[in-house]
Chain A
Amino acid sequence: MCWGGSGNRRETAVPVTENAPPPGHAAVLSRRAAAAGLGAPLPHPGHSARWRVRHHRLPGSPHLRHTDGHRGDRRHRPGVVQSHARTGRSHPDRRDPGLCASAILHGTPYVVPDALTDSRTAANPLVRGEPGIRFYAAAPITTAHGERLGTVNVLDTRPRRPTDDQIAVLEDLAALVMDELELRLSAIRTIAAERAQRTAAIYDPDPCAALTNLDTVLKGEHQSGASRYCTAVFGVLEPAPDGSFTVSLAGGGHPPALAPRADGTVESVSTTGGQLIGILPDSRFVQATTRLLPGETLPLYTDGLTEARAPDCAMLGENGLARRLVTAAPQGVGELLRAVGELLTDPGTGVSDDTALLALSVPPRRTTSPAQENR
């Protein structure tokens, strides 16, 4: 997140979060973005997968590694876990004729306890010749829309019969690979959305118009059954002669901004009613305006913060965050970031989702710099 704009007259703030996956596309994003924590807190599926991976041994796997696609690093070794992913058009792995290709056809784990006696693999040159694979098990790397990108597989030179738990570990490893792919692609999309937003703002700095433009851009990118969206808050700052700033925010599916005031109260600058961007037929965006006096700070955040659940299952929510800010009574942006930062680092608060925080502050006295960014 950062600042842009034209000179010091207007500046725009664009925290963009949460893209959802396009159907039939390899890329999706962090599954907990826009998470609705319902009922008791549930572990992040990725976390539970990691937990299991740490606590189980795979059949005969002294080595655990990812292959990186370089041919030289793809040597099959006894007891090796590897991941095969394909990009674009499928091209059979020359070193793995038929094994991964067969496994990828299965939406469920594919297990060959003894490759020499199994009709699916007995004729495979990697089984009949070097390195003499006898055991092969693969779990598909599957997108949210069911597209199988490749497999994470384990193989050995002697027959093996894996337990259900061990196969579950293999599935978890495949889920981890998918998670990593999603995270990277989500970062790329978020940056692209932010750039589109900035470009649009050059031509029309009206905050709601900026979100409408972004909405149009996202819909245009995915016209074929589009299901990709984001939430955003977009702001325009206008300086006043007394050193204060008028802040006009437009929100699309974004939680309200909370402004701690000099008198110790916290004002909610709510754009509630603004809808998700890029996925609804006639998205509506809502504008709210506030004033930031010299010395005041306006924190913007994503919902990972307010959807945090404490051990007693209570969700923090906007009210909880506001109470925290009232209690902390932060003097200046540094104290505010520290107070909110404690929420992110204190394990008792239950923040587990991706969370972004952007605080805008007006310097206490008029200086040469009209506004500063803190992150």
Chain B
Amino acid sequence: MTDRTLTVTSRTHPSGTTVLTVTGELDHHTAPRLSRVLDETPFGPGAPAVIDLSELVYCDSTGITVLITAYHRAQARDSRLFLTGVGPDLMRVFRVVGLDQIFTFQPTVEHAANAARP
């Protein structure tokens, strides 16, 4: 079959934070999978979310669009959203396009879960 692989898993951290783990290549073909999971993610004032990108090996402009959509949704519902495990190359792209100013980053899911505690 094709080489386009992306898995997105959703779990609830003991702290109550929703953790989406994104593994593989986030691109034009696979981004809808993350979009679908985000659609089902219960963003809200008491429902923080983490998108863990530590296993992401590739991200293109469509992938970035989906991450921005997640940011918009979290903002609209007064929910806290964290990105974790962002590698140096993706962080470099975030800096070039100014997204480092809007996303909240944490090194790991545990750090994010702690930061999300009320």
Interface, chain A (partner B; CB < 8 A): 18, 20-21, 23, 28-29, 31-40, 42-43, 45, 48-49, 144-146, 164, 167-168, 171-172, 175, 182, 225, 227, 229, 231, 252-255, 272-276, 279-281, 283-284, 303, 307, 315, 317
Contacts and interface: CB of A to CB of B under 8 A. Distances in A.
B93 A144 contact: no
A35 B97 contact: no
A186 to B, nearest CB: 10
Interface stretch (B10-18, B42-50, B60-68): B60-68
A284 B58 contact: no
Given A229-B65, A276-B97, 17 more contacts: A31-B27, A31-B29, A32-B61, A34-B64, A45-B3, A45-B4, A144-B31, A144-B62, A145-B35, A227-B68, A253-B97, A272-B95, A272-B96, A275-B97, A279-B68, A280-B68, A315-B89
26 contacts: A21-B62, A31-B29, A35-B60, A36-B59, A36-B60, A36-B92, A38-B57, A38-B90, A39-B57, A39-B58, A39-B89, A43-B3, A45-B3, A45-B27, A48-B3, A144-B29, A145-B35, A168-B1, A171-B2, A172-B2, A253-B96, A276-B97, A280-B68, A284-B101, A303-B93, A307-B93
Interface residues of B, number: 37
A144 B62 CA distance: 8
Contact of A33 (B29, B61, B68, B90): B61
Contacts of B2: 49, 168, 171-172, 175
A307 B27 CA distance: 16
Contacts of B32: 144-146
Nearest to A182: B28
B87 interface: yes
Contact of B98 (A32, A36, A275, A315): A275
Contacts of A227: 65, 68-69
A49 B62 CA distance: 19
A18 B61 contact: yes
A276 B25 contact: no
A37 to B, nearest CB: 6
A29 B75 CA distance: 27
Interface residue SS majority, chain A: loop
Contacts of A276: 68, 97-99
A350 B90 CA distance: 18
A355 B116 CA distance: 40
B51 to A, nearest CB: 15
A227 B57 CA distance: 23
